[in-house]
Amino acid sequence: MSLGIVSFLLFISCGKDSSPTAPIVPVGTELVFIAGDSTYFWESVRAGMEIGAAELLLNATWVYAKPRDAATQINLLNQYREAKVAGIALLPLDPAGQSSLISEIDTSGIPVVTLDTDVPGSKRFCHLGTDPILAGKTMADSLAVLLSGAGKVVVFVGNRNVWGTTERLNAFTSEAQAQGLSVETVKEDGGDISLAKQNVRDALNTYSDLAALVGINLHEAPAIAEVLAETAKTGTIKVAGYD
């Protein structure tokens, strides 16, 4: 079941006061999804949202912050709060900075579901996402097996300040080092695909004996693959990716 469909079900059935006799959301209810961006991961979530909306006879609006920054997303949150929509689901771009606003919106009667990245300490309705610590640890363990417990690794990340990314990155780094791998550096790209590719090129130029390249967010593995192809290094360096 897709993230989009599950999010609709959360609006209906999960939360602080849910019970077996809780009323179903009325037909035509307006729900808003504020996605992270327009990448393939979020487009798959959008497809699930559309399926869920059709099955449950709900109205759904899909938007994402353009430009992709917290200020734009905060404006969207305020816009839909003023419109008094029935519920909001979003990937928080600045969990710490948006915590109070999310709490205010949820307390006002508009449930807020966080997707992929949580906002610990907020009064959000509930959270839907993977365990980032387990994800990072599992990635490191799998890579250590492929590298026989030795080798230099460079890690690429979008935004180190986002909760889920930070947890995943820290778990990967800690476990990789515990397994005998050497994490040489972590390069940040802010979600910029062009910068992500340049970071890979820089890493290849700086470290001639890399054993693996690791992408913590969804766009980095494709960027790594593209640069390895253009430098004729495909198959010579292991690649680990997420999403």
Report d(CA 89, CA 34) in Å as an integer.
6
State how far the Cα of 187 lies from the Cα of 199, in Å rounded to an integer.
7
Q: How far apart are CA 87 and CA 81, in angstroms?
A: 9
pLDDT at res. 27: 54
Task: State the Cα–Cα distance between residues 91 and 35, nearest whole angstrom.
Answer: 6
Please, are residues 52 and 8 in contact by the beta-carbon 8 Å criterion? yes
- What are the strands, taking DSSP E only, across the chain? 30-35, 59-64, 87-90, 112-115, 126-128, 151-157, 181-188, 210-215, 238-240
Q: Which residues contact 231 (CB under 8 A, 6 or more apart)?
A: 201, 204
Strand pairing class (181-188; 210-215): unpaired
pLDDT in tens, the chain (243 residues): 455 555 555 554 454 443 333 434 455 578 999 987 777 778 888 999 999 889 888 899 999 887 778 889 999 999 999 999 999 999 898 888 999 999 999 999 999 999 888 898 999 999 988 889 999 999 999 999 999 999 999 999 988 877 788 999 999 999 999 999 999 999 999 888 999 999 999 999 999 999 999 999 888 999 999 999 999 999 999 999 987
d(CA 36, CA 41): 9
CA dist 183 and 180 (Å) reads: 10
- Dist. CA 111–CA 128, nearest whole Å: 13
Domains, the chain, in order of start with CATH, read 3-128 (3.40.50.2300), 132-240 (3.40.50.2300)
Residue 89 near residue 58 (C-beta atoms within 8 A): no
Cα 154 from Cα 172, distance rounded (Å): 12
Residue 180 in tokens = 């005998």
Residue with tokens 């972590």: 186
pTM of the model: 0.75
Distances (CA, A) of 52 to 7, 47, 153: 9, 9, 41
